[in-house]
Amino acid sequence: MANRFMNNATTPSTWICALLTLLLSCGMAQAQDLVLKDAKLSLLPGDMPGAGYFSLQNRSAETLTLVGAESDVFKNTEIHMSMEKDGMASMQAVPALDIAAGDNLEFAPKGYHLMFMNRLTPLAVGDDVEVILHFSDGQQLAATFEVVSPATLL
Ligand SMILES: [Cu+2]
């Protein structure tokens, strides 16, 4: 009895190792919980805003809530939803968007999109733009968006 207690008490490195393993596996679990695919940034001429499209899968066991996005290339990035009202196309900002466990959320033309506004540096078709998605639980997801011409998305 006394011997076992001694063994436990005298191995602090085991605890540190266990803690590190826990931290590392937590980080990996988060990365696998969210899978983002086909990230594209549709670039319009001049100072017109760009639109971000992708597909985002929630592989975790819980609802995740997308609350925003940011990029170094644009001053403001918002979640938008396109809609049609009285035959007129319009869009509105969406402050938060739930993705249920196991669900796949599509950001696509005529639907949800990221609106990239106030470009800070020049962009050309073929460039990569780093974007970070923010979730309500503090989780962040970094993604690379490929800059494309809007014509390729029609
Ligand atoms: Cu928009």
Ligand 1 centroid–CA 113 distance in Å is: 6
Ligand 1 centroid–CA 51 distance in Å is: 7
28, pLDDT greater than 80? no
Ligand 1 centroid–CA 71 distance in Å is: 16
Which tens digit of pLDDT belongs to each residue from 63-94? 999 999 999 999 999 999 999 888 898 999 99
27, pLDDT greater than 50? no
Ligand 1 centroid–CA 81 distance in Å is: 6
CA 36 vs CA 47, 50, 89: distances in Å = 27, 19, 27
Q: Supply the pTM of this predicted model.
A: 0.78
Ligand 1 centroid–CA 52 distance in Å is: 9
Ligand 1 centroid–CA 137 distance in Å is: 25
Amino acid identity of 48? M
**How many Cα atoms occupy the beta-carbon half-sphere of 48 within 13 Å?**
8
Which tens digit of pLDDT belongs to each residue from 97-121? 999 999 999 999 999 999 999 999 9
Tokens of 119: 């470009």
> What pLDDT score was predicted for residue 26?
44
List the domains of the chain with CATH numbers. 35-153 (2.60.40.1890)
